[in-house]
Structure 1
Amino acid sequence: MATKEEKNKVITDIKKTAGLLGESLQARDWEQAYEYHDSLKKHLENELLGEFTGNELTKLGIEEIRQLSKKYAYFNKEMRKFQGALVANGKRFLEHAK
């Protein structure tokens, strides 16, 4: 059983990382956002979260952060697909420009 301080640190780490992710997204710093999301996923997998009730996690905003994390992962995947398609399109432009 974790101490109150340990549990509070987990919540603080999640919220801090979520805030940094949000700032990176607002700044359109996609690579930094990707790194923060990777860190956030690790925090959200912390076994100490199992010591909270679902209601506590909801009140603390952790469940919403989990849902937003899933949405981010989906949108990031789609964005990278589009970027790949644009790069491929760029290669074709270059071929035809010769």
Structure 2
Amino acid sequence: MRCLKVAFGMEDDEHLIDAHYGDSEFFAIYEVCENGSVKLLEKRPNKAKDFEEEHDEGHGDPRKFKAVVSQLLDVDVLAAFRMGPNFLRIRDKTNKVA
């Protein structure tokens, strides 16, 4: 059976983050399988949340992109209400779907 791992950017235990994905409090990692089963695997803290973005880069700092993606190497899909400028980097430079 084929499954995908999906990382939802979360604000708290009940709400998706309504800000940039990299600002999530944590990532809720789910396994979603082709038979329709959905299973919460873990709540992974976002170690890049307080990443100090350089003034010149602001949102979309490529260093923050690397810090977020490096925490989610085992995940297939990154999901949130809002994706920042790094969305294009995720699409173009990783094997992830945002």
Taking structure 1 as the reference length, the TM-score comes to: 0.28
Q: Which has the higher contact order (CA 8 A, sep 6+)?
A: 2
Taking structure 2 as the reference length, the TM-score comes to: 0.28
Richer in strand (by share): 2
> If you compute each CA radius of gyration, which structure gives the higher value, 1 or 2?
1
